[in-house]
Structure 1
Amino acid sequence: MRGQRAASTPRQRPSAPAARQAALTGRGGVVVMFGAALLGGLTARWFGVDVLAGAGFTAGCVLAALATRPADLLTLAVSPPLVFLVATALAVLATSAGDGSLLTSVSVGVLAALSTTAPWLFLGTILVLAITAPRGLVANARELRGKLVGSRLFEQEENENPVRWDESPARERPRLPHGEVD
């Protein structure tokens, strides 16, 4: 009897779009961007093709913007420049470990890599903003602004000018050295 009931009731399967839709957190999206940028930066340094660094970063930006859940889009939208800088610095540090002075080779390498891949940074950042804006970035920014308006950050102070020259301080009685007794 039990076998017949179990066999006769169909199994509940999740719908196809829900099963395929992966939702990253904001930190997960940043990690995806960082991993793609680091992989692209390392391959660009190893093979001497600067385009690989920018293409890897841009691909990571697009993938993270599409896969991050809507509640965390604000975190993702502000992080591409920092992710790009850290990934570039780590790629240069990893590939210039045996080149004489480490400080000189890393600083020159980072500046050279940033100057050659700067357009890719702008492209990746613009793509993140363009993809996340219709997905809920604007609503998240409005919600954050609404929360901040209620705080003291945007309120006008009652006492804007704490120094008031027109008011004289109240005159205090001089304190006697032996206490309150005259």
Structure 2
Amino acid sequence: MRRGGRRGRGTAARSRAGGPGGSPTTLTGRGGIVVIFAAGLVGALLSRWLDWELLAGAGFVAGCVLAVLTTRPADLLTLVVSPPLVFLAATVLAEFLTTLGQGSLLRGVTVGVLTSLATTAPWLFLGTLLVLLLSLPRGLPANVRELRAKLARTRLFEEEENENPVRWDESPDSPRDRRRLHHGEVD
């Protein structure tokens, strides 16, 4: 009987520590970007090797969903803005790797990237939209508010530091101090 009580406490401690049955693994914003890149690259490479275009977009979208669900809420703003650039990088690398050893590398990569971007653009929009929509309930609005507050504080401090100590609009004290300067003279 006593042994079962200990086991219960151990299970609770293990679940708080993130063990089996505990909280899921969380990634940083950079980790989420790596997940999107890796899934997009694997999907793009499989798409070219198996000649099945659906894999490129599906891999990217799967990576986007996995990344947004596993990235910690504090880093969601970093993740939300990155899918288009990550998609481009994965597409360029996949085209480069699959074009190596075939005729003109520059022409092959250029044509391949433009063709890939044209055929997989809907998947890019879908992945980006899913990242945005899934991150809203996870805390993205709070991140945006925090960033705006930080920027406002920074702007306030810059205005105070850059306040002009010289007052050009102040007139001299007495009319005697005011004399007409010739156009070549400097005050």
Q: TM-score range by the shorter chain?
A: 0.7 to 0.9
Distance 1:121 1:16, change over 3 A: same
Please provide the CA RMSD for this pair. 2.9
Deviations 1:101-160 (A, max 9, x none): 10110011001000100000000000000000110011101100100011128977867x
When structure 1 is superposed on structure 2, of 110-119 and 144-153 the one drifting more is: 144-153
Q: Distance in 2 between matches of 1:154 and 1:68?
A: 32
Amino acid in structure 1 at the alignment position of 2:24: Q
The DSSP-based 3-state class of the residue aligned with 1:21 is coil
The residue correspondences of 1:111-126 to structure 2 (distance < 5 A) are 111-126=114-129
Runs of 4+ in 1 over 6 A off after TM superposition: 153-159
Deviation of 1:12 (Å): 3.0
Match of 2:98 among 86, 95, 98: 95
Q: Distance in 2 between matches of 1:108 and 1:120?
A: 19
Q: Partner of 2:57 in structure 1?
A: 54
What is the TM-score of this pair, normalised by structure 2?
Answer: 0.76
Q: Partner of 1:105 in structure 2?
A: 108
Please tell me whether the aligned partners of residues 81 and 121 of structure 1 are also in contact (alpha carbons under 8 angstroms).
yes
The residue correspondences of 1:127-166 to structure 2 (distance < 5 A) are 127-152=130-155
1:171 aligns with 2:186: yes
Match of 1:37 among 35, 40, 49: 40
What is the TM-score of this pair, normalised by structure 1?
Answer: 0.78
Q: Distance in 1 between matches of 2:156 and 2:89?
A: 31
Deviation of 1:33 (Å): 0.5
Q: Which runs of 5+ in 2 are unaligned?
A: 170-180
Q: Partner of 2:10 in structure 1?
A: 12
Please tell me whether the aligned partners of residues 149 and 155 of structure 1 are also in contact (alpha carbons under 8 angstroms).
no
Q: Distance in 2 between matches of 1:50 and 1:72?
A: 31
Percent of counterpart pairs with the same letter? 59
Count of residues paired in the alignment? 161
Amino acid in structure 2 at the alignment position of 1:39: V
Distance 1:153 1:31, change over 3 A: farther
Q: Which runs of 5+ in 1 are unaligned?
A: 173-182
